[in-house]
Amino acid sequence: MNKYVEIMEIEQIVIETMNLCYPHFRMVTTLPDDFENKTIKEVEKRIKNLNIPDISHRFIKHHEKTNWGYSIHMMEKSGKAYARTYWYNDDKSVIFLEGLHVDEKMCGNGIATKLLEMHIQIAKEKKASTQLKVEEGSWMHEWYKRRGYKKYTRCEESNTIWLYMLP
């Protein structure tokens, strides 16, 4: 199997899994229309030029540039865990974490920790603080606190707070 086929298969797995998990959110491939005409070196250079920390062999990522900002969708290869890191064009000093989720059967294997570490690494490289929303007093709130997050402010939603971590 050549690298072109491997890249296309991984990309398709990400798209199909994301579309199943989030039916209101339709993903499209990040590969250029003329991908078949590009050499593998050109594609690897394009990926490297994104200047985003490498994700280990255990995870795959999808980059999404929009008119409001930039998102990186990170997923465990089997689809058992997912997180989204994003920031806005008008304020790149803050990077947000959203949707960190691990399948119950996979909890305790360090997958969430690795996803969070990748998010924090992106924030460090961009010299940005990181923020996320969590239910106050939940086990996730305690989990984030143990990893260095502090309370920032209360959300309008009941019992939900913003947490932050400085770079």
Strand ranges for 41-167 from DSSP E: 59-65, 69-76, 81-88, 91-102, 129-135, 150-154, 160-165
CATH top class, domain 58-165 = alpha beta
Claim: this prediction has a pTM higher than 0.75: no
Question: pLDDT tens digits, residue range 113-163?
Answer: 999 998 998 898 889 999 999 999 999 999 999 999 998 888 776 788 899
Cβ neighbors of 166 (< 8 A, separation 6 or more) are 129
Dump pLDDT digits (tens) for 68-101.
999 999 998 888 899 999 999 999 899 999 999 9
* Mean pLDDT of the 62-71 span: 88
Spell out the domain ranges in the chain. Answer: 1-49, 58-165
